Structure formats: structure tokens, C-alpha cells
Amino acid sequence: MSRENDLPFKVIAEIFSSIENVTSRTQLTVAMVKLLKQTPPDVIDKVVYLIQGKLGPDWKDIPELGVGEKLLIQAISMAYRVSESQVEKLYKSLGDLGSVAERLSLQLHKNKKKVTGLLAFMGGETEALTVNKVFNTLLRVAMAQGEGSRDLKLRLVSSLLTDASPLEAKYIVRFIEGRLRLGIGDATVLDALAIAYGGSVHARTLIERAYNLRADLGYISKIVAQKGVDALKNIKPEVGVPVRPMLAERLNDPVEILRKVGGKALVEYKYDGERGQIHKKNDKVVIFSRRLENITHMFPDVVKMAKENIKAKEAIVEGEIVAINPDTYELRPFQELMRRKRKHDIQRAIKEVPVAVFLFDVIFYDGEDLTNKPLPERRKILEEIIEPTETWTLATSIVTDDPDELNKFFLKAIEDGAEGVMIKAIHEKSIYQAGARGWLWIKFKRDYKSEMIDTVDLVAVGGFYGRGKRGGKIGTLLMAAYDPKTDTFKTVCKVGSGFTDEDLDKMEELFKPYIISHKHPRVDSKIEADVWFEPVKVAEIIGAELTLSPLHTCCYNAVRSGTGISIRFPRFIRWRDDKRAEDATTEDELLEMYKRQLKKIEEEATQV
């Protein structure tokens, strides 16, 4: 590729530097627009991946870089001709290997100017780094596997740092560490693409729909840059490329639920398993998780089921993969299924943890995009292309407009081992809203033994150091809900109970990759944490009740002026590694939960 179709890497490094301490999402978007406008269309996909801190979308089988801290220290030592002990000493002082590389590179550049003829000694002046050179070298690092790969990785990283300017070196090292800390989410990139290539944020709707159907932001960016926003109108799902899954709201009042979905609805069991998006093309089957990770290797038995029982050349179907008792076919809890992730001998795991698949949707069939078709049509097609067996079947369901029947079906689902039920609209506008949460699907989960009707999934955005036996350890987490309208995380509570001693011992290590020096630009908090995190880790939380608090920003001013919604006596249940931060409980969901709780209290008070 000619340099005219490439981008100097220093442009990216300078933009990254300019936004490192920015706390305004608007300013981040402006910086991204500036960067995208400077980027030649041929490399815009690679620039977007670099912004995301990746070498491609998560679902692609790109190995991790495999460069640990020790190897990175060796590479920095080799590149800047200093001892490893000097690098380690500087690392202890600065606390950031990116800053160490920047400091040592700057020192070497200064020495170059002082020493006559040093360029000859160094082998001549190096050519400026470009996006292609950096990206392709990092890809080679990731692909280096097997015998001799460690030495090859060391040489490649060292060579890249040798050619880099001090600022470039800083961000190359941080990329390798997985600690860019830029605060740029997909939503910010989508806004920037809309402004840069569509003239305003109004173009985002079309760009986002294309991204939801083809979950590859680099690919979508390249189409927009090369062919224009209108070219995205022709985008449809492709087998082998995950579709961002449709999400559900939550309610616990059958009358209100049916009103929200328009009366009559399809009601399905909500299974406690792994949501799987199953892609079939001829004899090839790929399975993606709700986080769009390729989990095919975990479920060769499901691959076999799909090959034998999907009567289509090409199809994308969705279902829940659930652990079962092999003797009775009774449903088993999610924790049983997770044993598959820990098993290296997958054939043994298949015997120890057998599964069943309960299918509930089809979004692509033999070349046709079904996402704009109403649910009844999709359901009919699903029924036609599925050959049911005992372990491969449609989700148990009924169609009803009766709240009492809904409630009885819900109780039956609980009795059968499900989490609850999903209520789905079946009117003419009941399309598949890829990547979106709305009132077309509503989850109705079982009550827990607490005044809080349900657990919530919240994002850890900060931490506090404990006292006593927790002294020196992160013992309490600041948790936040997601607000998709502003693409921010708003604080709900501080949680310090429910953790085991093992959880506490691992807390520092768990959050080490995500610790940042300042509040993340997508975090809205009135509370000052001891330590701030990138909003990545999702936890399931239960509490006594929802309450109002002047300290938290979730639903601020929505119920009462000067207060937000918080959780009284919150307790940690488990980490939700199957969820992205953007899949967490939303601000609107918490507001709905609070209103239902208030209504229940008022009704009980009236009865008294």
C-alpha cells in the first residue's frame, strides 16, 4: 500500500495524547471526528480497531498478543539499550510501562543529537511509522505461535519501539498491555462516523443499524469511508458474522407487561443458560455468545445438533444452551454449564455436562434478512426449518392476553427450573431490534427472598480500600447502571458485602488492567472513589430495597429533586462475564423497578 493511502502513526498518537485526560464525551467525539477525517479510507478499519484497543472484532479468531509484562520489559530494554533492571526501576517510579517507554525513547533521541555519526552507528535514520506498519507488526506478534514464538515476539516489539517516536512508543506499549485508557466506546465512534461522513449525528441511525447487523465496527467504517453512508442501506446479516442480539426490558406486573407489548403476546420460558447465536452455512456451524464471542469450541455437541436439525443451507438462529440432567432431562443451573469453560477435555465435559438447546428466533434464512419481519412470521419460519429432538427444540411457549394465564405460566416455568418468562410482542411492528433494548421483549423473572423484586446487573466504575482484614485491599466497589441515551454509567450504590475472602484476595488482580488515574469520561458520579476503573466488569447485585439518595446519579431528579435511586444493603452475587458493560441494567429499568416498589408499598398501606 502506498504511503498516500496510509496514515502516519504519529497522528493517532497525538490524538490519543490530546484526549488522555479529557472527561467530556463531547470533546472525545470532536477528537474522533478530527482523526477520522484525516484517515485515508483504505486504513480506516485499522484505525478504528486501534481506537478500540483491538486487532479486529472480538468474534474473529485473532490470538491475544501474548506479550506479558516481563517480555515487554525485555523489549523496552532491547529497544533503548538499557538494562532490564533500569526499566523495572523506572516502572516502579512511574507506574506505567507506556510512560517508561516514552521516557527512555526521549532520552535516546536526545543522545542521538549529541553524538556525531550516531545515525551511521544506528544503521541510518528510520522511516516514520504508519498505521499499516504498526497494525501489521502487532498482528504478526499475535499470530506468532509455537516454538521460537517468544523470541520472534520480542524482536518484533523491540523493532517497533526502536522505530517509534517517544509519544508513539507510549501508546504502542499501552496497546500491547491492553491499557489504552481512552474512554472511547463504540457509541462515540458511531457518532464520529455519522458527523465525519454523514454530515451530522442524524446519520447515526443508519450506521448503527448496519453495525448491529454486522458486528464489526472496522468493516462498517470502511464501507462508510469508501462508499458513503447510503451504501449501508444494502447491509444485511451474513452467516459467520454475529448480529448484535436484541435485548429485553424488565417488569414484574403481568397486567402492565401485556399492556406494554400491546395485549396478546408470545410468552416463552426464560432459561438459565448461555444465549447462543447459531450460524449454519452448508456443513459449517459457528456459535456466538451474547457478548459475540466465538464459543463453538465449547459446544461440539450443539454443532452436531445444528448440522443435523436445521433444514436450511444458510441460517442464523438463536436459542438458549442449558445444562441438563442426562437421565431426566431436567434443567440444571447456569453454574453447571460454566464447568464447560473450565474443561480442557471437551469430550469429557460433554459427558459430565450434557446440554439441550431451546430455540426462540431466526434472523436470517437462505439469503433473506428476517430482522424486519414481525415475530409471528419469524416464528413460523423457525418452526419450518427446525427438526425437533429431545435436546434440540423450540422454547416452551404460549400465546395469551390474559394476565392470570401469564402468571400461571410464569409459575410453571419456575417449577420447571427456568428463571422466569420472556413476553414478546406479536403485532405487525414486532421486528427484531438488533443491538437494542425495547418494550417488544420484556423479561419477567422470579422473585428473590428480599424486598427487592429482582437482582440487577451493575458495572464496577470505582473502588474503595478497606479497613481491618481488608486493609490495603479493594474491599468495596462503586457500582453503576447504564444510560443508553447518553452512553454513560450512573452510580447506584457502593457494595462491600457478599464477597468471599478469595474474591477479596483476587480483587486487585481482577481490576489491575482497568485501573485509571481519573474518573472515566463515561462515568457520572458525585462520589470520589479511592481508585477509578474503566467501566468493563459487570456484577449481579441484590439488595433489600430501592431507595432515594442525594449521593447517587442514577435517575437523578427523576423521582424527587436533588436525589437519585440507590440500593439499600446491596450484596454481591456473582460476576457476569457473559455481559458487556452496555448490557447492564439500565437507568430506565431501575426507575421502573422503583415505581413498582412504590406502588406495592402504597397498596399495602391502603389495605392496612
Write the secondary structure of 227-273 as one string of H (helix), E (strand) and C (coil): HCHHHHHHCCCCCCCCCCCCEEEECCCHHHHHHHHCCCEEEEEECCC
Query: Superfamily assignment of 247-445 in CATH?
Result: DNA ligase/mRNA capping enzyme (3.30.470.30)
Closest CA to 167 of 114, 99, 108: 99
pLDDT value of residue 120? 43
User: Do the first three CATH levels of 3-53+183-234 and 456-607 match, i.e. the same topology?
Assistant: no
Residues 10, 165 contacting (CB under 8 angstroms):
yes
**Closest to 418 (Cα-Cα) out of 323, 520, 301, 345:** 323
DSSP code at position 126: P
Mean pLDDT of 512-534: 94
Judge contact between 275 and 284, C-beta under 8 A: no
Q: Name the residue type at position 414.
A: I
Nearest to 347 by CA among 307, 389, 297, 309: 297
- Name the CATH code of domain 3-53+183-234 (choices 3.40.50.720, 3.30.300.30, 1.10.3260.10, 3.90.1150.10): 1.10.3260.10
Helix (H) / strand (E) containing 286: strand 284-288
Q: What is the DSSP letter of 512?
A: G
Burial of residue 142 (CB within 10 Å: 0-12, 13-18, 19+) is middle
- Per-residue b or e along 455-484, where b marks 16 or more CB atoms closer than 10 Å to that residue's CB: bbbbbbbbbbebeeebeebbbbbbbbbbbe
Helix (H) or strand (E) holding 321: strand 314-323
Split at pLDDT 50, 70, 90, the class of 112 is low
Residue 310 near residue 459, CB atoms below 8 Å? no
Q: What pLDDT score does 205 carry?
A: 94
Q: What residue type is assigned to position 129 of the chain?
A: L
CATH architecture of 456-607: Beta Barrel (2.40)
For cell 457476569, the residue is: 576
Q: Cell numbers 467530556 correspond to what residue?
A: 24
Q: What is the pLDDT of residues 427-455, one digit of tens each?
A: 999 999 999 988 999 999 864 333 576 89
- How are beta strands 523-524 and 488-495 bridged, if at all? parallel
pLDDT tens-digit profile of 14-59?
A: 999 999 888 788 999 999 999 999 999 999 999 999 999 999 998 9
Domains of the chain by residue range: 3-53+183-234, 69-177, 247-445, 456-607
Alpha helices (H) in 115-165, listed in sequence order: 118-122, 131-143, 149-163
For range 194-219, the mean pLDDT: 94
Distance CA 228, CA 232 (A): 8
Q: How far apart are the first and last CA of the chain?
A: 78
Query: Catalytic positions, please?
Result: 270
Q: What share of the chain is helix, strand, coil (3-state, %, to 5)?
A: 45, 20, 35
For residue 316, which amino acid is it? I
pLDDT band at 348 (very low <50, low <70, confident <90, very high): confident
Q: Is 69-177 assigned to CATH 1.10.3260.10?
A: yes
Output the pLDDT for position 255: 94
Distance CA 12, CA 24 (A): 19
Assess whether pLDDT exceeds 60 at residue 125.
no
| pLDDT confidence tier of residue 119, bands split at 50, 70 and 90 | very low
Integer-rounded Cα radius of gyration of the chain = 26
Q: Count Cβ atoms below 10 Å from residue 515 Cβ, excluding itself.
A: 17
Q: What angle do CA 303, 306, 308 make, to 5 degrees?
A: 110
pLDDT single digits (tens) 401-424: 999 999 889 888 887 888 889 999
Q: Which residues contact 381 (CB under 8 A, 6 or more apart)?
A: 362, 365, 370
Q: Which of 258, 278, 430, 290 is nearest to 358 (CA)?
A: 278
Say what the pLDDT of residue 605 is. Answer: 52
User: What's the predicted TM-score (pTM) here?
Assistant: 0.82
**Residue 262 confidence class, pLDDT cut points 50, 70, 90:** very high
Q: What is the pLDDT of residues 350-402, one digit of tens each?
A: 888 999 999 999 999 999 999 999 999 999 999 999 999 999 999 999 999 99
Q: Which residue is associated with the grid cell 506479550?
A: 67
How would you label 98-135 residue by residue, b for 16+ Cβ within 10 Å and e otherwise? bbbbbbbbbebeeeeeeeeeeeeeeeeeeeebbbbbbb
Give the model's pLDDT for residue 4: 65
Predicted local distance difference test score (pLDDT) of residue 604: 58
High-pLDDT (> 90) share of the chain, % = 70
- Name the 3-class secondary structure at 443: strand
Residue 126 confidence (pLDDT) above 70: no
pLDDT confidence of residue 343: 56
Location of C-alpha cell 431466526: 362
Q: Is the per-residue pLDDT at 94 higher than 80?
A: yes
502's CB contacts (< 8 A; 6+ apart) are none
What's the pLDDT band for 121 if we cut at 50, 70, 90?
very low
pLDDT tens-digit map of 263-292: 999 999 999 999 999 999 999 999 999 999
The total number of residues shown for the chain amounts to: 608
Angle of helix 204-213 versus helix 186-198 axis, rounded to 10: 130
Q: What are phi and psi of 423, to 5 degrees?
A: -110, 125
